Chains A and B, each alone.
Chain A
């Protein structure tokens, strides 16, 4: 028997965790002599109070959906992929190489080509850790985190020595051709006859991310492969008994995971920067871990958690802009949310379970 109703498990628990994180954040803000109410209204106003705020919130959320889905898929195979950062960075390289080398006349052609490049490069970056795990038993957590550093160093070298246009002092690639620029949501709104989110980076990749949520849901819960991934993730001895090949599942799950992380590049590299810059991922790979944790490894949860973290990113930026609350405090607030919704999940969950059990007993 389940310990508590499903809605309490998937909605109430994260909500209470969130409120707790906010309460402690408020105390911290009070302690440095600022007003928590002002901070909260600034964040909400800045992130959700205007179409401008929404435009940035959704842009960040798009990044987090991709990296959150990446962590989620691997998690179902019981693999903890914390290499989303490096895989997303390599995805950026894939996008840049495709867009700079192929003469693509229109964004509608450039987008699928860039998606393939991004996914291939992201998956390739997950390939070696996956192979080491499947064949040699090297722990995926160790290898993927090391590959994050290798990716950062490799990209640095590639940007400075290979992709930097001659004469430029900036460690970045050349701008992508104009024809490959992705339509922004603001442009699409204009085409429909209204103004929304002017000068915001949110672009058509957002819809790709939403579609990815649906496809990942299909993969995990509706296909034979997803059945094998979940079965393997729950019990390797049982998987062997059932004829599921552990090497195959480990490789597939990690390649899909790396591919999803890499796909983030169509949003930040192709959609926003329109060239490859240093450190383009900006920690989104790690945020993906928190997003997957908070989203309880379900695409819908990942989507909602990504929106929340998009809000925190954008609202945090506003906070630094309009108040005297230092930028570092925003990181503290984000860390508190991760801490409470991810790491301290059981602190809220277990008392809740006891409460529901007690309620049921009284009802019975």
Chain B
């Protein structure tokens, strides 16, 4: 591929670049996070930076924002060399940053957050009223509407992100860096964000978008730079490239973006959920009567914006419903009813019933980050007879087992003594996946299997999930990535507000159709008779007791 078309974007080549990096290198200990990075971002463009996890994107941006000092290299802002020692210098140079994890004071109002750190004097009132005026103007210009008097904790995630952008604009940022901005947004919110970014570009602002989602890069950027293992491997005009090409550049080899799988051969029902309801400790009904069935040899994907009850569903099935919640309804696995409360309702008992679980949050739940890889391989199964005799654990047996799993799942580095926190996100996930899949569960619960996982590992994990399905196991897949749901699932159920809005077959489903369901609109009421029969209907021909 003809790479390094450095001069993307619109303005004339004579104009100085908004940002130019020359030979930036940065090492942490023996890890070279950035190696001799050259980058040119033209004024008034949206420049994407894409790369796998751990490719060095965030390090590079942290250098630009003054969090890290580069070991060598030069930074030019608007053609002027600049030594960025701290974020204050960056802000004065017109650089604004919107972090993946927002830096907002939860119980302050929008206005208070905006002026925090840039108050004009000892009294707040003048600053606040000035900010109110600026905010009104920005809201009109860029569709950045937020209620200035609302406290942050009352705002949706999308609105909180707008406050972060407003903060940067209020500090007169000309160059806006956004780190994985859409990770927490609904598709509609993401579209809105892109409209805002386009508006900003039209005003001559420069935007750097860090992401690992190829679709976003293709949709909105003018130019894109690809990072791989700390190096900048290519800078190209977006119009002249393709997702496949970018993916290949990111991982350095061809990857399959679509999962190859044979049609499902559904067998007997494994999981049967009837009228499952859950009321949390503050009295809010989070699950409002879920009915679902999954047969052997079938992947049921649950699509939906996060926060619509998927987490509660996984936790209840996994054996640990939220503290203080009340659960009712019926859940059967292989015909055996599961305890939904009381002593029998725990994850250990679920595992004995043939249930495996890859949790949504591997760092908080799936792994003990300080434990070595081999200990994490036993985690959850530490009572298994092959892992020891009586109360004692057989460390050699566990390590042998762990070494095998690490080899078969290509965990890198292949050392079982390393603590989980020292593996990259993708390799951490492989440890969890290896542990749960190799137990050969009858039913595998999977939450966000590839969140924060690089493309190479995504492909690998998807393949293993399909293999498990082909071995005749039932799989419940929850993901906020529609692509993942559509390419992996044999059936798709869409969750909204604690309910199943509808079911679709992936081959008939469109993003628009699913998007409507995810937003709580049932197209069936608009166009009756369309789509797949609701779950209840297709269940009636199943034997109920076995």
Q: Which residues of A contact B (CB under 8 A)?
A: 1, 222-225, 227-228, 230-231, 234-235, 237-238, 240-245, 357, 360-361, 364
A227 CB contacts on chain B under 8 angstroms: 375, 378, 382, 393
- From B30, B318, B366, B395, give the contact of A360 (CB < 8 A): B30
Within 8 A of A (CB), among B30-62: 30-31
A27 to B357, CA, bound (A): 60
A38 to B470, CA, bound (A): 80
Contact between B392 and A243 (Cβ–Cβ < 8 Å)? no
Q: Which residues of B contact A (CB under 8 A)?
A: 27, 29-31, 318-320, 346-351, 357, 359, 361, 364-371, 375, 378-380, 382-383, 387-388, 391-393, 395, 422
In the assembled complex, 25 residue pairs joining A and B whose CB atoms fall closer than 8 Å, in A order, are: A1-B29, A1-B31, A223-B391, A224-B388, A227-B378, A227-B393, A231-B368, A231-B371, A234-B370, A235-B365, A238-B364, A238-B368, A238-B379, A240-B347, A241-B318, A241-B359, A241-B380, A242-B348, A243-B319, A243-B320, A243-B347, A243-B380, A245-B346, A361-B30, A364-B30
Return the 3 tightest CB-CB contacts between A and B, nearest first. Answer: A243-B348, A243-B347, A242-B380
Among A223, A228, A243, max chain B CB count under 10 A is at: A243
Contact between A241 and B391 (Cβ–Cβ < 8 Å)? no
- From B350, B351, B364, give the contact of A235 (CB < 8 A): B364
Contact between A360 and B29 (Cβ–Cβ < 8 Å)? yes
A245 CB contacts on chain B under 8 angstroms: 346
How many A-B contacts at CB < 8 Å in the complex?
79
B29 CB contacts on chain A under 8 angstroms: 1, 357, 360-361
Contact between A235 and B30 (Cβ–Cβ < 8 Å)? no
Closest to B394 in A: A222
Given contacts A224-B383, A243-B347, 13 further A-B contacts (CB under 8 A): A222-B392, A222-B395, A223-B393, A225-B391, A231-B368, A234-B370, A237-B361, A238-B364, A241-B347, A241-B359, A243-B320, A243-B348, A243-B349
Contact between B27 and A224 (Cβ–Cβ < 8 Å)? no
A73 to B123, CA, bound (A): 52
B351 CB contacts on chain A under 8 angstroms: 243
Contact between B392 and A223 (Cβ–Cβ < 8 Å)? yes
A360 to B31, CA, bound (A): 11
A231 to B372, CA, bound (A): 12
Closest to A243 in B: B348
Contact between B357 and A241 (Cβ–Cβ < 8 Å)? yes
Closest to B32 in A: A364
Closest to B361 in A: A237
Contact between A234 and B369 (Cβ–Cβ < 8 Å)? yes
Minimum CB–CB distance from A256 to chain B (whole Å) comes to 13
Contact between A237 and B365 (Cβ–Cβ < 8 Å)? yes
A242 to B346, CA, bound (A): 9
- From B357, B368, B391, give the contact of A234 (CB < 8 A): B368
Minimum CB–CB distance from A356 to chain B (whole Å) comes to 9
Minimum CB–CB distance from B305 to chain A (whole Å) comes to 22
**Known pairs A222-B393, A224-B393, A243-B346; A238 contacts B366 (CB<8 A):** yes
Closest to B380 in A: A242
